[in-house]
Structure 1
Amino acid sequence: MVERERLSGLDSRMLVAKSFVTQDFVQELVVERFATDPGMLDFDLRADGLSAHPWIRAADLVHFHNLHGGYVHPYSISSISRMRPTLWTLHDMQALTGRCFQSLGCERWREGCGHCPHPNTPPLAMPDRSAELWHFKKAIYDRSHFTAVTPSAWLEGLARTSLLGGHAIRLIRSGIDTDIFRPGVCIGKSGSSRIRIGIVAERGERSSWKFVQSIEWLLDSLHPSANGFELSLVGIDEDDVSTSDSRLVRIPRLTGDQAMANYYQCLDFYVSLSGAENYPLAVLEAQSTGLPVVAFSVGGTSEIVEHGRTGFVASVQEPDMLVQYCLALINDATLRHRMGVAARERALEIGQIDRAVTEYKELYESLV
């Protein structure tokens, strides 16, 4: 995104917790902790570190993304937003809750959190001080001036009824490079006649806590109804999947868009078992590569997957329907082709990164 903004003429720069590239417009923040306060997450960081950074002081506008990575004190939101025009793109629910990335059905975040029913989901923080964190966040937001941006209409709706309800909220859907994620010939595909089903876990990050159903469950549910398939997994550790089923193919973690595009091009369709999402880019990437998608209808997934046209979405409460949709695609090559074509069309319609850059530039100009 930043590279596209720079190509469009903006002098965009990134301050990050950990950099994986060597670029003069990307810099890691030096984190200083002054105390240890169990359960309080990032409130033990120095509050003045980010607002004093020379890039922040020289900026015409500040654009926050994920701030819950252990490198930004929440008080920086109010101090910086009073210094510079500020917008904040939300990639999960953490800004709305006391602690959790995703509420997983819990509604306590609407009125103050506390007595968290999901203490073992990230970010882990014990003891449970979610109510205290929620009230700290409310006080910070009340003293801040920023525009919130959500990639999905689903999160936009939640944000409007949350702690952020008093702030301007905009919907700008995230984009991908549809010239890279496009239908193509599989590189190095074997002569296997098996239908290849793909599953990606957070681009190489352990995310099994989000899986409402397991890989083992899917394999068991598809047997013996279908044997002519294999599950191709990227980014799931061996400890997360215990089965030795021969239909399971583990692929080393992949880095970069082109490597991921090559992976998608070797599949026949894509499945998401996640029970918590905002605007899943893996789903968008798969559709852009011409793959039908089968997923649970969580978060903004249904805004990408058009049920019955580009794939299928099933209720989390009806997991057997997801199995039936997988079987329909396994057994019907014509259906896979028709949905794959529609999936590519849908990605071009809603998912092009240049469209997202244009919308952000227009928002920047309105705020400066």
Structure 2
Amino acid sequence: MMQVLHVNQTDISGGAAIAAHRLHQGLLQQEIDSRFLVSRKETQDDRVSLIPSASRTEKRIQRLTDPLGFTQIHLLSTFNLSKHPAYQSADVINFHNLHDGYFNYLALAHLTQDKPAVLTLHDMWSITGHCSFSFGCDRWKIGCGRCPDLEIFPPMKRDRTRWEWKLKQWTYQKANLTIVAPSQWLASVARESPLFRSFAVHHIPYGIDTEMYQPLDPEHCRAQLNIPKGKKVLLFVATHLQEWRKGGDLLFAALQQLPESLKAETVLLMLGEGSVKEIEIEAIALGYIRDEHLKAIVYSAADLFVFPTRADNLPLVLQESLACGTPMISCDVGGVSDLVRPGVTGYLAKPEDTNDLAQGIVMLLEDEEQRSQMRQQCRAIALSEYRINLQAQRYLDLYNRLLV
């Protein structure tokens, strides 16, 4: 039986972890021995092993390297992961997010010498000098340096972006990697990157459990969530409601522009941590929900899911909405257009344009017939393109080719 080892910061916390865990579940269903190696374990799954935490020596080195702007390279123990039992028993290594301070990317060449390896991109970090999303900056194409914003996650204390880009180039040249990008946008970015010029780049979308995320009776779902009868229901989802990248501020500005009559008959569901300032329509804050069945209830209760993100790969929340048959309004950035297809599954607004966002909300809220058609099209596309077993089979085919 093939054994696959996934390497990520956590097993289920965060978008990359959830996406990787869904792939893990899909591979298990295909009777593949799939396992995880993480720095923070949040489940009781015995298939998840821990990466040893930083030693005292590494922490001393970090006190020197971090102020200089060199992040993660203090983790010399990453090179020793090749001695970990989970690594040694694996046939294929599948790396996921390698930032967040737990993994020394310089070890990639060492860790891919004796085993075939896949690097699944969940953002742009692997091709930039520090940032997970470049927000329109193209300096990653020429080696970074003179970074316009060192505060973009993961932040850097001094501008060493040129050095980090060069260090990544050095280790990639010695590494044996195959690149997977979940969105067409990120696949094209990876192919354009000078760092990945010698690597094959494959486009394999995330998979989703279409049995767990499926359309449920809207009225029953609204009753469960205590939503007043007769209301039009908008939904906004973000791990942190005030996270700038997810565009909550754009949504709230757009809501202020709705006609007063529409405001009066609309309620906004908010799923995520934190609070927001007062808005002029009724709002129900549900907090952060991990239970997937309850999330499916929330999506099914909504007429529209509005997600004005400023930068994203293939947002899981849009994929979840798609599978639940809930039309979507988002912005034309990153890989969003893979899921939000104008006139088919929703409305794509211009980035940062709250007028366009408001126009899309009004147009779809007032057109019940179009929303009904979109609901059917959303579900059909989820079933035909994003089923988790389809994703698992595509990865399995790739793994098999690497093992030949």
The residue aligned with 2:256 is 220
Task: Give 4+ residue runs of structure 1 displaced > 6 Å after superposition.
Answer: none
> Which shifted more, 256-265 or 351-360?
256-265
Q: Given the alignment of the two structures, is residue 310 of structure 1 paired with residue 345 of structure 2, yes or no?
A: yes
CA distance in 2, matches of 1:144, 1:79: 7
SS of equivalent to 1:13: strand
CA distance in 1, matches of 2:71, 2:248: 26
CA distance in 2, matches of 1:199, 1:286: 11
TM-score, L = length of structure 1: 0.94
Which of 53, 62, 85 aligns to 1:54? It is: 85
| Identity between Structure 1 and Structure 2 (%) | 29
> Which shifted more, 341-350 or 86-95?
341-350
> Which shifted more, 316-325 or 14-23?
316-325
The residue aligned with 2:398 is 363
SS of equivalent to 1:42: coil
SS of equivalent to 1:286: helix
The residue aligned with 1:234 is 271
Structure 1 residues 198, 317: CA separation in 2 closer, same or farther (over 3 Å shift)? closer
CA distance in 2, matches of 1:290, 1:44: 46
SS of equivalent to 1:83: coil
Task: Please identify which structure carries the higher strand content.
Answer: 2
How much does 1:221 deviate? 2.2
Contact 2:251 2:357 in 1 (8 A): no
The residue aligned with 1:137 is 168
> Which shifted more, 323-332 or 95-104?
323-332
Q: Given the alignment of the two structures, is residue 93 of structure 1 paired with residue 129 of structure 2, yes or no?
A: no
How much does 1:210 deviate? 4.1
How much does 1:142 deviate? 0.6
The residue aligned with 1:292 is 327
Aligned residues: 365
User: Where do 1:1-368 residues align within 5 Å?
Assistant: 1-32=23-54, 34=58, 35-36=61-62, 37-38=65-66, 39-46=69-76, 47-162=78-193, 163-185=195-217, 186-187=220-221, 188-190=224-226, 191-202=228-239, 207-211=243-247, 213-224=249-260, 226-227=262-263, 228-238=265-275, 241-243=276-278, 245-316=280-351, 318-368=353-403
Task: Please identify which structure carries the higher helix content.
Answer: 2
Contact 1:212 1:316 in 2 (8 A): no
> Which shifted more, 251-260 or 173-182?
251-260
State the one-letter code of the partner of 1:348. Answer: L
How much does 1:262 deviate? 1.5
For structure 2, the residue ranges without an aligned partner over 5 or more in a row are 1-22
Q: Deviations over 1:23-66 (max 9, x none)?
A: 11012212215112122221121242322212112211111111
Q: Deviations over 1:206-255 (max 9, x none)?
A: 632342843431221225362111221111412xx222545222112101
Q: Deviations over 1:98-145 (max 9, x none)?
A: 111101000011111122212222111211211111111010101111
CA distance in 1, matches of 2:191, 2:397: 22
For structure 1, the residue ranges without an aligned partner over 5 or more in a row are none
Contact 1:212 1:275 in 2 (8 A): no
Q: CA RMSD in A?
A: 1.8
TM-score, L = length of structure 2: 0.86
SS of equivalent to 2:208: coil
Contact 1:45 1:73 in 2 (8 A): yes
Contact 1:51 1:76 in 2 (8 A): no
